[in-house]
Structure 1
């Protein structure tokens, strides 16, 4: 029989061709197996698989705030995987998973005959879960026209090796921890948290089917971008589960009748909750790891983007969300009022020097300048219009605009900063560096320094009380010209300048009277005030001039908040901190913050602290911040201080409660652009409402009762007695006549002497 076959030259040729192809394929396979097309991972390497994992940033209750990553991946264990998730994957991707050794030969034959020879696309694919895992772990290389064949063979070799090393459960677990989902998300835990805001173990059948369904084409079946298409794909997955008897028709009907309901979470650096805080934490984590020379067990350095660390922070996620919502609500309304008040005379429209100076700071401008273009050519280039998305409070808009148009658009926006600290230990509870991190990267908490206005006055009054000034000391409100300061004449808001009116310190501070603040600083000594501010936590240099009493110095929001913690922390400043501890991916402690428990020396007496609290309580109850009571109806124990700077450039508010110190700031990034009038720009209108909205939200949430219902310490009876005086005092007859208490005393002495009155009057007349 064989002789007859070999006598037929065509059959002989076919047989030789067959053997040639077999030998050629064997040689080709061997070349791949032995690394001619690139080294294959050995069994030893496969047994020590290490996948880069995202570092998680967690709040004070271990809730996920955000991540640092190259690939957005978090690992889970097999026991964390719901059975419905496993069943959905196997039914959809690899029905014979438990029967093959990594390569499903039956499926490959089916694909070859039905898909390739008969062009029947319904036959499915031949790729197994293990083959897909091999591809996920090691990727694919470009081998030209032979690429698909070489890569497939490489994956089959790796898949078989993995099947020898790992159980089916371990392969399923590795697959779910490495497979790419939509929106650049790697691993089921990251996908579950991102799309449904829940851990993998909590996924329902429809949710599990949705995520498994997206694996076929993670962009096309992205449930965020294409919900209808994703739902159709989900239903296919559910029917596959019925086909392979993982669920019954009733369960399938219940699952397919429900619509996909996403609870999408943004963990990308530019999006999501607390982006400014996350950026600070990233820098601090890198600095901590480097400064303390923490290393992995193998001696290599930790990489926050790859090593799956857990960074536990002080932030309260719920409080942060309330703070962001309060800021967004107020700033959207304030921006509208701000623009309306300027109308066509807005400085970003009319003052060319503002636009030009900001234009020259742009990277694109500098690149064009370096390339040798003239100013006119640069302007022409930056005037070219293109489709661009612009930030707006109501809704972003896509328009045709040039770089110059875009710059002018962003110059108009007011920005904001906010920090809330636990005064007892300095733990940062809420942190807002700006209105939207996507468009405004500059952090107004950690990076910015601005004039602080009247929020500096409490430092002046603290120094005065600490240095022996009686709390019931009176000062005249009238303006004084300081000839030794280039005829500088501090003025009061509202034109307050009654020559016969005197205010007590409490009245002067609570109503933020400028003229008296300057008189107090001159009385106590500028140097003593600066020393006090520094002891309270101000690190910036402060110029030794009387105008600092009005807040002309540029200070940072972070250091200002620190200084105010002294009033509710036993006269000691609390150093703000962000990170409580850092663990590696196995839960081993790498770093722990212990500095927050350190006790510092008191920087002023208990007497001074309680007097100052009474002064600042009056600010809320009867001074410049009464709208917290009248408009926001806050019943809380609150002390505070408003602040407004020269030409209404900056608005400030400091809110002090027994267990939370909060500072808010509002202004334009370009310090040449202020508010058009004091009514809009004063701190009580521009910055205070953020605190008001924030506290209202906290008051409604029982979770924060310990903070919102906290009471200030009981005031010492001696202090109550020392403050028991009239808030205002009119000058007496003799003081009106002679100008000062000193002259009045001299007149009374003169009355006792014969002819003394006439001598006294004559001296005064001569003067």
Structure 2
């Protein structure tokens, strides 16, 4: 009896334990259900609704896209992110992520129960339990976890709920794409597209297996496994090899492939993306101003303004990435050699006022003081730091650690700011723009040599005297009004336009560069050799006002006084204006306004802007063609003849001289004009073929910085080589289809252009001799 009672009591105790177990278990279940229910109802903080899940808020950079589909750069503040679709991700990249971060990704619905239980039992020591969907939820909606245990639990609950909702809202492929696009790979590499471009210089679809493995390895900790050469290359390689091992473990690659790839180096092509580096930097800054103006005048449907740095706009431009590359390479090849010669001629021994010429010490001091007050350093100290003028001036004489530009690479040095300003004034700067004359599309834009150190744009912002490149406008006016022919002959004797005529305040008597005023010559020879007196006679026949009217119709907006001296290029114009104006000659007299942007779309590819080309008839087709034939003489026997040289020697018939050192060897028709301003301060070359017009300017920041002689200071030595190098590269790329044909002849041509039966007066040189440098390997 006692034993039965004892058994009964034991059974009662057991039942009590079972009962308590189920009570606790049920309570736990109810607690979990209640916890998840409260969390889903927003009791612990707002959760994203259907709309937010459909359109998660992420900052997307504005992308600048070339005419041939290459990303030139981006506008962004903190997030350099441009999303890509799942179909743009290589399979091995996706396999690497799944194998490393979530092996059962395709079997669960947002939460991996097995992984969660394992993490609970092992207290996280066997690896985390977060699925890719949970990690995406964390990245999109609540960021890093709290250090507070209770808050961390609540965040984890919300993370689970969001992950499940994401799985209901999106396909597995869409979730993978979002996760690749949201992750921060460091070094402005936001998202897989930026990471691929910055670390390997390629698009995601072009990544190979080991590159994909390295990027996936960064998901563990992109700061710790940062592949920059100066950070942790050994750790990055080890982490990449872990990813490869995971891929072999789950059957995505063979052991042989794994072993082979684990022995390889990272193979980085680190190409940081920043606003001051990369390709087309000057154009991108022009485009930034264009976009800000467009945004101001084109609000969203709800009335708010687009954000250039975060709304994911796409700006489709006319720039051809290949031609832009060739243009920048031409500048990089020519300018160091030209600069080296300038430095050679302007040592303190050869020029005590170097780099300035024709200035005395008081003028130099005044110039430097003006530059000091216009500097960013002055602005920062005066307005940001509130320093006195005395303190600011003193700071310019105190040695400071700085990094300065040189053509051999940046130099870390200690220098007085005033000395660094003088050093920078020694540099010659380039400006180049290339345009399709028929469409107006700008194909290349080089506003300077290094945007990081020299921000001023010499394509559109900079305006300098154009010299003899203005003369074709004078001749075109005379051809249009008087039907002059390139074969017409005028005397090269001196001419004086008296004061008062055409509103000229003083008598004007231009001089020829060679001092020769004997004989006569054809208009073609006169333009080819920039004979000033002949141009002045042509100007006197038409008057300056019609010339200015023509130039204005050709798109020039700068002020040009209607005085005779403009015939020799005294006006200050930009490369942008000159290329646009010259393009009408190549386009049969039709001016087409330069176009830089063809369309703008939003992040959903909805078109927001479409270009409407602006054109107008300015000259007859005959006048434009005759002017082109005049300019062809420049490259046939004039100042641009070096374009025709073979590299060994070239015969220049106008003054019986052998010209060496210019192996360009162009044989196709080229119309062009060189330009050299007073004291050799500015060198120009405008060159045209039927479907491409390119203008180049070279000069220093201050006009008092220039070559002492015309040997190196002429446009043919300063600017023409850049044009030639650029065009050689363009012609070497058959995909560009740059014309090598003749300009189209008008069907009703009545003006004589073939001057083979007409020659200049044999008693006089037909052109002005200009000494050509042969020791720069241009």
Equivalent position to 2:132, from 111, 129, 134: 129
Is 1:700 the counterpart of 2:721? The answer is no
Judge conservation of contact 1:72–1:185 (CA < 8 Å) in 2. yes
Q: Secondary structure at the match of 1:664?
A: strand
Is 1:559 the counterpart of 2:577? The answer is yes
Judge conservation of contact 1:210–1:231 (CA < 8 Å) in 2. yes
Corresponding residue of 1:42: 49
Is 1:447 the counterpart of 2:451? The answer is no
Judge conservation of contact 1:182–1:214 (CA < 8 Å) in 2. no
Following the alignment from structure 2 to structure 1, what is the Cα–Cα distance between the partners of residues 353 and 161? Answer: 69
Corresponding residue of 1:251: 257
Q: Which runs of 5+ in 1 are unaligned?
A: 6-16, 732-767
Following the alignment from structure 2 to structure 1, what is the Cα–Cα distance between the partners of residues 418 and 35? Answer: 60
Judge conservation of contact 2:600–2:608 (CA < 8 Å) in 1. yes
Equivalent position to 1:497, from 492, 516, 527: 516
- Of residues 281-290 and 171-180 in structure 1, the stretch that sits farther from structure 2 once superposed is 281-290
- Of residues 192-201 and 452-461 in structure 1, the stretch that sits farther from structure 2 once superposed is 192-201
1:164 shift after superposition: 4.4
1:68 shift after superposition: 2.6
Equivalent position to 1:55, from 48, 59, 62: 62
Q: Secondary structure at the match of 1:663?
A: strand
Q: Secondary structure at the match of 1:728?
A: coil
Equivalent position to 1:527, from 509, 521, 545: 545
1:185 shift after superposition: 2.1
Corresponding residue of 1:84: 92
Following the alignment from structure 2 to structure 1, what is the Cα–Cα distance between the partners of residues 36 and 216? Answer: 33
For residues 108-132 of structure 1, what are the alpha-carbon distances to aligned partners after superposition, in whole Å with 9 as ceiling and x for unaligned? 565566567xxx6xx3334332222
Corresponding residue of 2:418: 404
Judge conservation of contact 2:327–2:726 (CA < 8 Å) in 1. yes
Q: Secondary structure at the match of 1:537?
A: coil
Judge conservation of contact 1:478–1:496 (CA < 8 Å) in 2. no
For residues 432-471 of structure 1, what are the alpha-carbon distances to aligned partners after superposition, in whole Å with 9 as ceiling and x for unaligned? 1111122222211121111111111111111122221643
Once the two structures are superposed, the pairs formed by residues 48-447 of structure 1 within 5 Å of their partners are 48-70=55-77, 71-104=79-112, 106-107=114-115, 110-111=118-119, 114=122, 123-140=126-143, 151-225=155-229, 227-264=233-270, 267-288=273-294, 290-291=296-297, 293=298, 295=300, 301-344=305-348, 345=352, 347-348=354-355, 351-369=364-382, 373-447=387-461
| Gap change, CA 1:250 and 1:65, over 3 Å in 2 | same
| Gap change, CA 1:253 and 1:182, over 3 Å in 2 | same
Judge conservation of contact 1:65–1:267 (CA < 8 Å) in 2. no
| Gap change, CA 1:245 and 1:331, over 3 Å in 2 | same
Q: How many residues align?
A: 712
Corresponding residue of 1:13: none
1:20 shift after superposition: 13
Is 1:642 the counterpart of 2:662? The answer is no
1:86 shift after superposition: 1.8
Q: Secondary structure at the match of 2:187?
A: coil
Q: Secondary structure at the match of 1:159?
A: helix
Corresponding residue of 1:664: 696
For residues 357-400 of structure 1, what are the alpha-carbon distances to aligned partners after superposition, in whole Å with 9 as ceiling and x for unaligned? 11111233234345665544223334444443222212112223
Judge conservation of contact 1:649–1:674 (CA < 8 Å) in 2. yes
Corresponding residue of 2:589: 571
Judge conservation of contact 1:294–1:590 (CA < 8 Å) in 2. no
Following the alignment from structure 2 to structure 1, what is the Cα–Cα distance between the partners of residues 565 and 628? Answer: 24
Q: Secondary structure at the match of 1:185?
A: coil
Following the alignment from structure 2 to structure 1, what is the Cα–Cα distance between the partners of residues 477 and 602? Answer: 47
1:346 shift after superposition: 5.1
Judge conservation of contact 1:140–1:151 (CA < 8 Å) in 2. no
Is 1:711 the counterpart of 2:726? The answer is no
Corresponding residue of 1:740: none
Following the alignment from structure 1 to structure 2, what is the Cα–Cα distance between the partners of residues 79 and 56? Answer: 19
Judge conservation of contact 2:75–2:308 (CA < 8 Å) in 1. yes
Judge conservation of contact 1:492–1:515 (CA < 8 Å) in 2. yes
1:641 shift after superposition: 0.3
Following the alignment from structure 1 to structure 2, what is the Cα–Cα distance between the partners of residues 445 and 177? Answer: 36
1:303 shift after superposition: 3.6
Following the alignment from structure 2 to structure 1, what is the Cα–Cα distance between the partners of residues 245 and 321? Answer: 39
1:154 shift after superposition: 4.1
| Gap change, CA 1:607 and 1:33, over 3 Å in 2 | closer
1:156 shift after superposition: 3.7
Following the alignment from structure 2 to structure 1, what is the Cα–Cα distance between the partners of residues 699 and 11? Answer: 95
Following the alignment from structure 1 to structure 2, what is the Cα–Cα distance between the partners of residues 80 and 96? Answer: 23
1:238 shift after superposition: 0.2
Following the alignment from structure 2 to structure 1, what is the Cα–Cα distance between the partners of residues 28 and 355? Answer: 76
Following the alignment from structure 1 to structure 2, what is the Cα–Cα distance between the partners of residues 31 and 141? Answer: 22
1:424 shift after superposition: 1.0
Judge conservation of contact 1:134–1:159 (CA < 8 Å) in 2. yes
1:581 shift after superposition: 2.3
Following the alignment from structure 2 to structure 1, what is the Cα–Cα distance between the partners of residues 575 and 303? Answer: 39
Equivalent position to 1:675, from 703, 707, 711: 707
Corresponding residue of 1:686: 718
| Gap change, CA 1:728 and 1:335, over 3 Å in 2 | same
Corresponding residue of 1:581: 599
TM-score (norm 1): 0.84
- Of residues 268-277 and 690-699 in structure 1, the stretch that sits farther from structure 2 once superposed is 268-277
Following the alignment from structure 1 to structure 2, what is the Cα–Cα distance between the partners of residues 172 and 137? Answer: 13
Judge conservation of contact 2:138–2:144 (CA < 8 Å) in 1. no
| Gap change, CA 1:702 and 1:169, over 3 Å in 2 | closer
For residues 206-260 of structure 1, what are the alpha-carbon distances to aligned partners after superposition, in whole Å with 9 as ceiling and x for unaligned? 1211211122232443334355543332222101111223222022133334433
Q: Secondary structure at the match of 2:310?
A: coil
Q: Secondary structure at the match of 1:573?
A: strand
Judge conservation of contact 2:184–2:222 (CA < 8 Å) in 1. yes
Following the alignment from structure 1 to structure 2, what is the Cα–Cα distance between the partners of residues 696 and 527? Answer: 39
Following the alignment from structure 2 to structure 1, what is the Cα–Cα distance between the partners of residues 276 and 112? Answer: 43
| Gap change, CA 1:451 and 1:102, over 3 Å in 2 | same
Judge conservation of contact 1:424–1:659 (CA < 8 Å) in 2. yes
For the aligned residue pairs, the C-alpha RMSD in angstroms reads: 3.5
1:481 shift after superposition: 5.6
Corresponding residue of 1:751: none
For residues 493-521 of structure 1, what are the alpha-carbon distances to aligned partners after superposition, in whole Å with 9 as ceiling and x for unaligned? 2x3233x3222221111101123222321
Following the alignment from structure 2 to structure 1, what is the Cα–Cα distance between the partners of residues 603 and 36? Answer: 39
